[in-house]
Each structure stands twice: as structure tokens, then as C-alpha cells.
Amino acid sequence: MDLSIIVVSYNTRELLCDCLTSIAETVGDLACETIVVDNASIDGSAPMVRRYFPGVRLIRSPENRGFAAANNLGIAVSRGRHVLLLNSDAVLMPGTARAMVDFLDAHPGAGMVGARLLNPDGSFQYSYADFPSLTGELLLLTRLAPMVYTPTYPSYPLERSVQERSVDWVSGACLMARRATIDAIGPLDESYFMYTEETDWCYRARRGGWSVHYLPEATVVHWVGQSAAAAPARRRRQVYRSKRLFLRKHAGWGAAATFALAVRAVSALKLGAVALMALVAPDGDRRARARHAMHSYALVLTGL
């Protein structure tokens, strides 16, 4: 079998339907299987898959175990010589799966390859980036990164993204891994509940001697973060947790502790600022927004 496509879903029923339709319409003559891992959705996602996509293998997790763990459930039962992780809020464009398979087949040293991501309006979406570092994360946290690096750091803009290139890591929204690479480095690290798990996977692949590539002729429309859209405060906290884990694993405890301290310090400053705004805001709408921001920063402070 050429390819196993694994789609993790959490309460994205309509988007999942579009995703699976795009797979069926674009894989062409590839020998391919599709596996959906449902992370305890309550929106009817699983029944929809059973009814409209009977050829798709459905795995229902009794609880939301996170993105990494759910993908690993799919990887464990997959049979393809390549494995494509595809977000449920992503739609494959014609020829994308074939282009990625052909690229890995033509480049035996390549362990992983990612696609060019597009926003729903067709505009370019950041698709690959440099590995996190303590310096870079501190500059991002304090909003100084654009002055020290580039406005898009650690990602790369459209003008740097028109040709195939070797990169640090590619987005897990559409990431294809060679089976031999997975066998060599292991599956995703389930310590990451969500975010940065693909960064860690690419880091381990490169450390194991495999290259990671960005392939612009492979394109995917990506709606970005639909599963987490209803809880932006928890999303922010999870992003920081995952970055701290990455730094702890690959830069040491000192880097992770410094990053966590900086996140708490910045969050405390912002919490104080919005608390003051809530007191002096001239109207109820601004006070409500300030209270919402206070909750967000307090959640980071108490849960990092």
C-alpha cells in the first residue's frame, strides 16, 4: 500500500466531511487507506463517517487524548509505506498526495515532507519554520522578534516559499512521513497534548539523519485551529506548555525553566494592565473584554 492517511477529529463534523471528500476525490490511483481517529467528539462526527464514508476506517477514542496520542492510534494500525497526517480542517488539492509520495520515493534520505498551506481565500499560510530556541521564544514573547529577526519569524513568507527546500519542521496540518523514518525514530511524543508535537517529530527525524522538506507544489487549504477555536485562553496555555516541553527535551531544564518564568512574568504584567483597564474602562463592553483578557492571562499563570 502506497499511503495511509490519518485524520484526527474533535468536534469538526462539517470540516471533517469536506476533508474526507477531498481525499476521495484527489488520491487518484494511489493504493491508499484512510483512517479517522475521533477524539470523543459530541457533534456527530463518528456517525457521519460511518454513514457517508463506509470505506474509511474509524477509530473512536473514549476520551480526548490529544493530537499526538490520537495520531499514534492511527499510525499503529496503518499499513502504508508512507503515512500522511492530515488535519480535519484541511482539504487536499488535486495531485497533492501523489506529489508528496513521489517526492519521498525519489529522495530516499528524506524522512518527512510538508505541503504549502493556503487560507480559505487562497492566500498563503505559513507552512514551515525554524526550530524553537530559548532566545527566539523570549523575543517572540516580548514582541521583539520582528526587530531582531524578520516580521514572520520563525516562519517564512510567500517569497521564500515558492521552491522546494530542506527545512527545520513542517506543519502537522499536512505532514507525510516515510514508514522507515517512523520505525527508526518512533511515533509522535504523547507528552504533547496539542501543538509542537510535529516540531518535536521533525527534530527527532533530523537528529536521526533524515531530512525534512517543504514541497510547494503540494497544496492544502487549511482553516487553522478549528478544534481549539472556542477556547482561545486554553489554547494559549497549551501552546506555552508544549513549547516549554520542547525546550526541556532539546535545550535542557534551564532553558525550560527560564522560558516558564518569562511567560509568567509577561502574563502577570498583562494581567495587571488589563485589570487596571477593567477598573477605568468607560463602558461596559470594554470592561467585559478586559475581564475576558484577565481570565486568559490568569489561566496561563496558574496552569503553565
For residue 197, CA distances in Å to 66, 93, 189 come to 10, 24, 7
- pLDDT of 276 > 70? The answer is no
pLDDT at residue 236, rounded to an integer: 82
As to burial, measured by CB atoms within 10 angstroms (0-12 exposed, 13-18 middle, 19+ buried), residue 259 is buried
pLDDT single digits (tens) 88-133: 999 999 999 999 999 999 999 999 999 999 999 999 999 999 999 9
**265 vs 200, residue with greater confidence:** 200
- pLDDT of 292 > 60? The answer is no
Instruction: Report whether 216 contacts 164 (CB < 8 A).
Output: yes
pLDDT at residue 32, rounded to an integer: 96
As to burial, measured by CB atoms within 10 angstroms (0-12 exposed, 13-18 middle, 19+ buried), residue 162 is exposed
pLDDT single digits (tens) 13-27: 999 999 999 999 999
**292 vs 252, residue with greater confidence:** 252
- What band does 282 get if pLDDT is binned at 50, 70 and 90? low
The region, left, alpha or beta by phi > 0 then psi within -120 to 50, assigned to residue 174 is beta
CA distance 195 to 215: 22
Record the pTM. Answer: 0.89
Number of H helices, E strands in the chain: 11, 12
CA distance 105 to 228: 35
CA distance 269 to 297: 9
Q: What is the mean pLDDT of residues 253-261?
A: 95
- pLDDT of 186 > 90? The answer is yes
pLDDT at residue 279, rounded to an integer: 56
pLDDT at residue 267, rounded to an integer: 76
**98 vs 285, residue with greater confidence:** 98
pLDDT at residue 268, rounded to an integer: 76
CA distance 247 to 241: 10
Residues contacting 135, CB < 8 A, separation 6+: none
pLDDT single digits (tens) 161-176: 999 999 999 999 999 9
- pLDDT of 183 > 80? The answer is yes
Of the chain, the end-to-end C-alpha distance in Å amounts to 42
Q: Is 79 helix (H, G, I), strand (E, B) or coil?
A: coil
pLDDT at residue 265, rounded to an integer: 86
Residue 86: what are its φ and ψ, rounded to 5°?
Answer: -130, 125
Provide the angle, in degrees to the nearest 10, between the axes of the packed helices 13-26 and 45-52: 30
